[in-house]
Amino acid sequence: MPSLYDNAVASIRMGVEDYRQQDTQRDVSAVRNFYAGVLLLAKELLIRSAPKASPDLVIAAKIKLSLNASGDVIAVADGKNSIDYGAIHAPLKEFGLLIDRQALDGLQSIRNDLEHKASAHSPAVIRSAISSTFAVVTSLFRQLEEDPATALGEEWQVMLSEKTVYDGELKAARDTLSKVRWFSNSIEGSKFRCLECDSRLIAQMDADNDDQAAVAFKCRSCSAEPDGADLIEDAIEQMFGGDAYLRAKETGEEGPIYQCPACERQTLLETDEACANCNEPIDYESTCQLCGEHIPLSDYLDGIDGGLCSYHSWQADKAMHDD
């Protein structure tokens, strides 16, 4: 009976073989097979990373507590289902394993479209989503300490060839942005993705331009010409959205992303001196004149400005009204 690893390799090989045919009908099969193979390979990596644990428990979709014969509380798999794509990233992170989720998100999105409705994606976008995940497969094999050339045979050469093509396009796209002087140090060409097709092949039309305000973006995958403010806002959300969610959940406070009062975009970072989108400067006294406490950006944006922290600003207002 084939092992999980054998099934993963077989699915990946079939996916690459379908991909190699350059047939739109085979592209659909390529997405399904390749996506399934990557998910199986990730599950195999989880299992091998916990050699003393039950494989069924490591990749179980649900876990429940039970008592063994000795009366000890143990964890057991609840049912036969294994973790899906949405759930697998948490244990991978906990085990210290690496996987490029952004690359896989694009393939998973297309796969879901194909499973539930007619895909609106062009053949070029579908093939780009597949080829951009070749590096994910390579990384999984390396972490498994398996040789992809041995496991995949001729299909490995196809992957190498296509990855080279993709990497070449990616380098060319990012080279066009290399001269740009971004308003924020957090922004760089590698942070952008096309909001139409999710590709990372974002370039600017004038490779000699170095002024962020004059950049005209274009996707080298689907030819979309996205708005620069949309790309900046999306890049910041990708980088700091998780931090913003955790801060709001744990403290109920805003940050590190704020809405710029000038351009009204979510592109104002508390670590910057100006908006990452419009370059509007943040000009306020950040230290309380009375107690020396830091005055957060949120207070300034809420209208608390004058060199006083929220507490001393409240005291000053109270004293004024008492008089």
Residue pLDDT, tens place only, 293-317 = 766 776 666 656 666 666 666 666 6
pLDDT in tens, 104-139: 888 888 888 887 766 667 788 888 888 888 989 989
Reduced to 3 states, what is the DSSP secondary structure of residue 232?
A: helix
Buried b (16+ CB within 10 A) or exposed e, 196-213: ebbbbbbbbeeeebeebe
Q: How many CA atoms are closer than 13 Å to the CA of 312, on its beta-carbon side?
A: 14
**Residue 225 domain boundaries:** 177-279
Based on the domain organization, do 61 and 74 belong to the same domain? yes
Q: How many other C-beta atoms lie within 10 A of the C-beta of residue 130?
A: 25
CB 40 within 8 A of CB 83: no
Based on the domain organization, do 82 and 161 belong to the same domain? yes
Q: Where are the beta strands (DSSP E) in the chain?
A: 63-67, 73-77, 202-204, 217-219, 257-258, 268-269
pLDDT in tens, 42-87: 999 999 999 998 888 888 878 877 777 777 777 776 778 888 888 8
Based on the domain organization, do 20 and 145 belong to the same domain? yes
Split into its structural domains, the chain has a count of 3
Q: How many CA atoms are closer than 13 Å to the CA of 296, on its beta-carbon side?
A: 11
Using CA atoms, how far residue 86 sits from 12, 43, 91, 108, 273, in Å, is 20, 13, 11, 10, 37
Confidence check: pLDDT of 285 > 80: no
Confidence of residue 245 (pLDDT cuts 50, 70, 90): confident
Specify the range with the lowest mean pLDDT, choosing from 65-69, 172-176, 189-193: 65-69
pTM above threshold 0.75: no
State which H helix or E strand residue 92 sits in: helix 85-94
Based on the domain organization, do 20 and 37 belong to the same domain? yes
Based on the domain organization, do 51 and 197 belong to the same domain? no
Residue 6 has phi, psi (to 5 degrees) of -60, -40
Domain boundary pick from 159, 175, 191: 175
Mean of all residue pLDDT scores within the chain:
85
Domain boundary pick from 175, 203, 219: 175
Q: Of 295, 296, 262, 293, which Cα lies nearest the Cα of 279?
A: 262
DSSP string, 258-306: E--TTT-SS-EETTSSB-TTT--B--S--B-TTT--B--HHHHHTT--S
Based on the domain organization, do 169 and 200 belong to the same domain? no
Based on the domain organization, do 18 and 151 belong to the same domain? yes
Q: Of 9, 34, 217, 232, which Cα lies nearest the Cα of 128?
A: 34
Pairwise CA distance, residues 131 & 278, whole Å: 35
Based on the domain organization, do 265 and 308 belong to the same domain? no
Pairwise CA distance, residues 118 & 120, whole Å: 6
Based on the domain organization, do 43 and 168 belong to the same domain? yes
Domain boundary pick from 175, 210, 243: 175
pLDDT in tens, 31-44: 999 999 999 999 99
Based on the domain organization, do 171 and 181 belong to the same domain? no
Residue 304 confidence (pLDDT): 60
Based on the domain organization, do 163 and 310 belong to the same domain? no
Based on the domain organization, do 98 and 161 belong to the same domain? yes
Residue 83 DSSP code: P
